[in-house]
Chains A and B, each alone.
Chain A
Amino acid sequence: MSNLAVPNLAATDSLILLIYAFFILAAGFSLKPAMTGSREFMQAGRSLPGWLCALAMLGAGLGAQEVLGMGAAGAKYGLASVGFFALGSIPAMLFAGLYLMPVFYGSNSAATSSSKAIRSIPEYLGLRFDRKTRVLNAFLFAAMTSFSAGIALYAMARVFVALHVFDRIATTLNLPSTGVLLLAMALPAALVLAYVLLGGLGAAMYNQAIQFCLVLAGLLPVVLLGLKRIGGWSGLKAASTGAFSRGMVQASSGATHAGAHPMGTSAIVLVLGVGLVLGGGTWCTDFRLLQSAMAAKNVESARRSPIIAAAVRVFVPFVVAVTGLIAVALPTPHTSIVIHNDNGVIYHEITVVPPAVEAGRGLIPAKAGVDGKPIIAADGHAALDYAMATPKILLEFLPTGLLGLGVTALLACLMGGVAASITSFSTVFTCDIFQALLTPNAADKRLLAVARWAVVGGTLLAFGAACAAMRFDSILDAMMLVFAFVNAPLFAVLSLAVFWKRATGHGAFAGFIAGAAVALLNHGLALPYGEQPGIHGGWIAPLIHPASEIVLGLGTAILAFLVSLLAAVIVSAFTKPRAAEDLKGLVHSMVPRASAGAKWWKRPEAMAAAILLVAIAVNLIFV
């Protein structure tokens, strides 16, 4: 019997997991004495160097959804998705570093202004516009961030159950088989809760730096071994086109007019959607990521951190998305009987493969129903469980020992993303809901207590959302859906806030409402091919049929962005703008310029240009 079907962690694997957990908690304990005030807890005292903020940003931006989602997209869409991820977020990250951080961080020196520095994006909106915009955005953000942490917890818990990571603990606790899933969601959440509660954003960021390195350390050997197996990069390229043409056959059986691009997307939607809205919406507005840069020790470090992060991020998809590509390129396992003759004794070696695995593509299994049989999608093919691409490939290649490191990598990416959600939830709740709405003059000790309670509350909300997140088939699509409703309008409003002095609070508020309403309407009217009306779209009336869920997500995001921009501009034009002196430091053109003392090649602008060129070159060469 092959032991591939029932993987279990050996002692060495568990030891590595335990060491990781120990170090993660140690960071919380060692920062606990420094948590003397709310700003130490929520902003790490604004004392961290740029490179650490960059690593923390990368760790926060490489959560469970991103790792599993990139692997899934690599498997589903082939090599094109590597380019999609490698290039997609880079311009936005560079833009955030060059133009947004001076505004969000505040351009004054840290020493004089750290007691008044902006703590969150909603707080910036409150200073720039008005309280209603701030509170609306705070509530939307708090809801979105706890929901996304919930999706992350659920997605990774499924993986841990499939990998039997927590089976030993579950059997010692005498849990029923359904309890294992809950345990796999609760245990990582409890670890994150512990270290964030102890050390606040500082502990979260110290750990994100470690977690990011661990993700790479755990996945890189898989990529190296996988590439060796399928014949290097050229083998991968060949395998990818093969898998891709099969994917196109599958797609075109339902949709004949899928665009020319491999992802079933017309090029213009792809460029606009990825470069402008998806990348911009994430890296320029998402406070989960920006909070790391806002904890830098000075404005130069704050500007440099997204830029350094971009330089590293260019290469991340080559590790993470390629795992999915390799998974789809390998042969699908089948039940087989091998007969061999050993000294006259005949052995029948039977490898039993579950039917759902046999119905899969490459190593990616089909989704199994309750009876263990593969689930057939509306287009007549087996519905594939793409989120399992990366975990499956870990099992395929990693021997005992390294497997522990691989599982640690999965746990690390989950915890880094969830910690970012929880700390940002806590900050936004404390500053923009508790302080802005309830007690404007709260003492700092009170704020610190509220921030700690908000960490507990955020974790509980995320856990609740995890229990509700079971109906999505591709995690990335789900993420894009949430993102389209919340982040795309926010990107439009923030761009206006930073670059257009004339934008008003009423305009911003109208932009939010209009953008979200249009996103919701579009989602209700459009239904991707091969899907049932409901959570995947078309719940009002399926009138429009985009080629895939990714196209629907991108289309919704672009539409929401444009409508929100338009509404904000029109309403702003008819309402009274704020006096220019009130906007000092809040609008890009009114931020005092730092003297450009450094040599030109040391300036952030030059670094950014170089990174952009490298990103484009990498795309042209490899994809």
Chain B
Amino acid sequence: MFYDPRISMGMLFTLIGTILTAFGLSTRSEVDVYAKSMGIDANLWWGLVLLVFGIAILILGRRSQANLEKEKK
């Protein structure tokens, strides 16, 4: 294995999750934006889900990467 792919995957999802959450928070009061999603602030909720997923994957990946580097030494 070159490096643990969960690190980049975790970073990507953390980043996307953060953007969606921030965007969801800033547009919370705008009814027009969420007319499509039946008034649900889908950005906020799905952003939080992705954020949690991303951080969890990132932690797992970093832990296994540390083991990987220990083995190499």
Contact = CB atoms under 8 A, between A and B. Distances in A.
Contact of A225 (B3, B9, B24, B38): B38
Contact of B1 (A49, A397, A399): A49
B29 interface: no
Contacts of B73: none
Binding site secondary structure of chain B: helix
Contacts of A19: 12, 15-16, 19
B42 A398 contact: yes
B58 interface: no
Given A23-B11, A221-B42, A397-B36, A405 B1 contact: no
Candidate in B24, B36, B38 with the most chain A CB atoms within 10 angstroms: B36
A44 B2 CA distance: 9
Contact of B42 (A48, A213, A225): A225
Contact of A213 (B9, B33, B38): B9
Given A47-B2, A297-B1, A229 B38 contact: yes
Contacts of B34: 399
A594 to B, nearest CB: 21
A315 B38 CA distance: 26
B20 A405 contact: yes
A171 interface: no
B50 interface: yes
Interface residues of A, number: 35
B48 to A, nearest CB: 12
A399 B36 contact: yes
A210 B9 contact: yes
Interface string A192-233: 000000000010001001100100010001000100110000
Contacts of A15: 19
A31 B3 CA distance: 9
Interface in A13-31: 15-16, 19-20, 23, 26-27, 30-31
A464 to B, nearest CB: 32
A402 B43 contact: yes
A228 B13 contact: no
Interface in B23-73: 23-24, 27, 33-34, 36-38, 40, 42-43, 46-47, 50, 53
Candidate in B2, B9, B42 with the most chain A CB atoms within 10 angstroms: B2
A37 interface: no
A114 interface: no
Contact of B8 (A48, A202, A206): A206
Contact of A23 (B12, B19, B23, B50): B12
Interface string A384-398: 000000000000111
A48 B3 contact: no
A52 B5 contact: yes
B2 A401 contact: no
A363 B61 CA distance: 41
A202 B5 CA distance: 10
Contacts of B27: 400-401
Contact of A26 (B8, B40, B43, B47): B8
Contacts of B5: 27, 52, 206, 209-210
Given A229-B38, A398-B42, A34 B2 contact: yes
Given A52-B1, A210-B12, A399 B37 contact: yes
Nearest to B44: A401
A12 interface: yes
B2 A210 contact: no
A208 to B, nearest CB: 10
5 contacts: A12-B23, A23-B11, A210-B8, A400-B43, A402-B42
Interface of A: 12, 15-16, 19-20, 23, 26-27, 30-31, 34, 44, 47-49, 52, 202, 206, 209-210, 213, 217, 221, 225, 228-229, 297, 396-402, 405
Q: A-B pairs with the 5 shortest C-beta distances? A: A401-B43, A401-B23, A206-B5, A23-B12, A221-B46
